[in-house]
Amino acid sequence: MEAKRNPSVVIIGAGMTGILMTIKLREAGITDITLLEKSDRIGGTWRENTYPGVACDVPSHMYTYSFEPNPEWSNVFARGHEIQQYFQKVADKYGVSEKVRLNEAVISSVYKDGKWTVKTSKGDTIVADFVVSATGILHHPAKPDIPGIDTYAGTMFHTAEWDHSIDLRGKRIGVIGTGSTAAQVIPELVDMGAEVSVFQRTPQWIFKIPDGLYSEKMKERFRQNPNMMNRRRVWFTRSLEHIFTKAVIGRKVQRKIMEWGCKLNLRFSVKDPELRNKLTPDYQVGCKRLIINNTFYKAIQKPNAHLITEGIERIDETGIHTKDGQHHELDVIVLSTGFDPTAYMRPMNLVGKEDLNIDDAWRHKVRAYRSLMVPNYPNFFLMLGPNTPIGNFSVIAMSEVQSQYIIKLINRWRENLFDEVEATETAVDRFMAYIKAGLSSTVWVGGCKSWYLDADGDPILWPYTWGKWVKEMAEPNLADLSTRRVVAAPAIAAETQPMARGKKRKETVTAE
C-alpha cells in the first residue's frame, strides 16, 4: 500500500483551539507540526483574562474536550484559573507543552505555489504546507473612544489586561460596560469593599442557572465512572441546544422560556422598582449575548454599588463626566468594554495568492467559507471564524467539529489528490447567501447593538441549529472547493520523509 505524504503544518496560537488541533493532527498521524504562541504561556483567553470573578458561563462538564473529561471541576461553572490549569494539564499529557514555541509571534504568513512561508518574531522562517490560525475570537480588547480618555491620570485598564499590582480595596472604581465580563467582575469589586460606580449604556438580560460546588464525593464518583461526566456533558449540550440555541434562531416556545426566565430573574432579584426599571432592556432576550450570572443583581443593590445610566460625556484627569452634568471622581477606571471579534489573526501580515493581503481581502466584509476557508488563501484554515455557531454554547465543541473538517481535507492532500485547496468565490457567495437567509428569523437582527454584528450590522453567527451545523460540517463538499497541482506528483515519499518538491505543473483540478 502507498505511504501517505506527511504535511508540515503551522498552527498559530496555543489556546484551546491550537492545543486541540495539535492533538488531533497527531492522532491522524501528522507529525510535522509547529505550534507558535506569542505569549510566555499557553491557554489563550484563560491565560489573558485574570480579572476577579473570571469564570466560564458554559457548564464546566460541557466546556471540556470530549476526549478528556475532567472530574476535578470545582463548580458547575468552572473558574478561569482552573480552566487554565485544565488546558495546561491536557497540553502536558498529550506532549503539546514540550512542542509549543512560546514567546514567538507570527509576523507574516505568505503563500506561494503550494507553500506557506511563516516568519516569526524570533527571526525564524518556517516553510509549511498548511497554516491553521487558532488565534481565537475575543482577544483584541476594544477600548472605547470616549472624549478625554487619554487625559485620565488615575489607573485605567481593560478587563483582559487586569493590573494585579493595584490594591482595589476601598478604592473608588468606575466600571464602564455591563456585558458578561462586567457581570462577573462587578460583584467581586463590590465584595472587596470598593466603592463601585457602574456606567451602563445599555441594560442586559440576565439568565440564572444555579452554580453549585461539586463535592469531593461527587468528584470521586466522576473519577470512578467517567461515563457520568459524559452523561452530564450530553445533558448540558442538549439543554443548551434545545432551549438557548433554538430560542435565538427564532423558535417561539424556546424564546418564551428564555424571556420568562430573564424577566422573572429580574423581577425577583431586584426589589427597588426604579433600579429594576433602569436594569430592564428594551430589546428581545438573546439579541445581545445572553448573560448567565447569579451574582450581579445582588451586588448592584449593595450600598457601595451605584448604577449610573445617564451616559458618559467625557473623561478628565480625575474621573468621568456624565451627560446629567455630574462628575464622578474615580481612583480606577475598569474598561469592561469587550473585544473586536473580527480582528482574528491580525495584526499578522497574511498574504495569499497574487500578493493579496487579508486586510484587502476583507476590506468590504470579513467572510469565510464555512467559517474556515478564505478564497485566495489555499491550505489555510481559520478556526472559530465568522459564522461559527458561537453564542451561549461551547466553543470547544465547535472547534472539535472544525478540526475534523480540516483533517479530512489535509488527509486528501496526504493521499496526493492535490497540492492546494481553497474555497471558491462562488462557494463563499453561496454560503453567505445561505447565512443571510437564515438570519432574518433570528433574534440578533432585532435592532440591538452587540459584538455579534459586523461593520455592516450583519450577525457573525450561525443562524441554524447546532445539529444542522454538525451535519453540514461532517464532510467537506468538494464541489465548493478548488484544488490544484502545484508540483509534479512524485513517487510517494515515505511517511517520515519530506515531500520532494520538483517542477511546477500548474493544472487546475477543480474537484467534483
* Interface contacts to ligand NAP, rule CB under 6 A: 55-58, 138, 144, 146, 176-182, 184, 201-202, 289, 312, 336-339, 449, 451
Kindly tell me which of 161 and 355 has the beta carbon lying closer to ligand NAP. 161
Q: Which residue has the cell 470512578?
A: 224
Identify the residue whose cell numbers are 490544484.
484
**Cβ distance to ligand NAP smaller for residue 336 or 371:** 336
Instruction: Quote the least distance from Cβ 206 to ligand NAP, whole Å.
Output: 12
Q: Which is nearer to ligand NAP, 69 or 281 (CB)?
A: 281
Minimum CB–partner distance for residue 329 and ligand NAP (Å): 18
- Distance of alpha carbon 12 from alpha carbon 278, whole angstroms: 43
Cβ proximity to ligand NAP, 116 vs 451, nearer residue: 451
Residue placing its CB nearer to ligand NAP in the complex, 296 or 339: 339
Closer by beta carbon to ligand NAP, 267 or else 449:
449
Whichever of 25 and 138 has its CB closer to ligand NAP, that residue is 138
Contact 399/444 with Cβ under 8 angstroms? no
Q: How far apart are CA 323 and CA 146, in angstroms?
A: 13
Q: For the chain, what percentages of helix, strand and coil (3-state, to nearest 5) are there?
A: 30, 20, 50
DSSP letter for each residue of 45-73: HHHH---TT-B-SS-TTTSS-TTS--TT-
Degrees, nearest 5: CA angle 441-444-447: 105
The single-letter code of the amino acid at 511 is A
Kindly state the smallest distance separating residue 452's Cβ from ligand NAP, in Å. 8
| Closest CB 21 distance from ligand NAP, rounded Å | 21
Q: Whole-angstrom Cα distance, residue 285 to residue 263?
A: 9
As a whole number of angstroms, the distance between CA 195 and CA 13 comes to 38
CB of 58 to ligand NAP, least distance (A): 6
Which residue number, 4 or 289, has a Cβ lying nearer to ligand NAP? 289
Q: How far is the CB of 208 from ligand NAP (least distance, A)?
A: 14
Distance CA 350, CA 379 (A): 13
Distance CA 380, CA 382 (A): 7
The distance from CA 170 to its chain's CA centroid, rounded to whole angstroms, is 34
Instruction: Identify the CA nearest to 91 among candidates 34, 138, 21.
Output: 21
Minimal distance, residue 168 CB to ligand NAP, in Å? 18
Do the Cβ atoms of 83 and 56 come closer than 8 Å?
yes
Pick from 324, 297, 294: nearest CA to 312: 324
DSSP codes joined into one string, 153-184? -SEEEEGGG--TTS--TT-EEEEE--SHHHHH
Nearer to ligand NAP, 14 or 58 (CB): 58
* Distance of closest approach, residue 454 Cβ to ligand NAP, in angstroms: 14
Cell of 497: 520523509
Q: Are 256 and 243 in contact (CB under 8 A)?
A: no
Give 58 or 439: the residue with its C-beta nearer to ligand NAP: 58
User: Sign of the CA dihedral 230, 235, 240, 246?
Assistant: positive
β pairing state of 106-112 and 349-351: parallel
Minimum distance from CB of 341 to ligand NAP (Å)?
A: 8
Query: Minimum CB separation from ligand NAP for residue 38, in Å?
Result: 20
